[in-house]
Amino acid sequence: MLTSLVHVAIGGNIGDVPGTLSRAVRALDEAEGIRVRAVSPLFETAPVGGPEGQPAFLNGALTLETSLPPGELLHVLMEVEKSLGRVREVADGPRTVDLDILLWGERVIREEALEIPHPRMHLRSFVLVPLAKIAPEAVHPVLKKSVAKLLAGLGEIEGVKPFGEKFDPLGGSGK
């Protein structure tokens, strides 16, 4: 039985990024205990942190419905990343795919390997812009503000622009 709605950031900046992100979405939708309920458009964004000279990222957001507990979902996300060529060498470095749990309903989780809500999501336009497209009313359980209000609080958004190609990895069955 699928019981929890979870919002996940998706992004990447090396290789065939739209193709890799599409494969990631399909892999999640096919995983046991997970269904993709909404997929945002992709946005092109400048890298934040990490080594100089890396290419721009494509970033989006997903809404998943899951029966998995948080640690198991995190494991699935990391396995999907690994299967799509993700190598963790440099913090904030280039990557084929990145999947981060942003929100899990009203839950607050602080563990060594997992923090929900994502500790920096409210500061990052490249996270909030796509998330606001699919879940503007989702509430940050610590800050008690909706995604739309968090985004508005950032002021003028620079460096986040719509990606020109349509992103529809589930062939119309996602939002």
- Point out the residues that are catalytic: 86, 95, 98, 100
CA 53 and chain centroid, separation? 23
Question: From the CB of residue 6, how many other CB atoms can be counted at a distance below 10 Å?
Answer: 22
Side-chain-side CA neighbours of residue 59 (13 Å): 25
- Looking at the chain, how many residues does it have? 175
b/e string for 136-172 if b means 16 or more Cβ within 10 A?
A: eebbbeeeeebbebbbeeeeeeeebeebeeebebbee
> Which regions of the chain does DSSP assign to beta strands (E)?
4-12, 34-39, 43-45, 57-66, 98-104, 109-110, 115-116, 139-140, 145-146, 160-162
User: HEC profile for 34-50?
Assistant: EEEEEECCCEEECCCCC
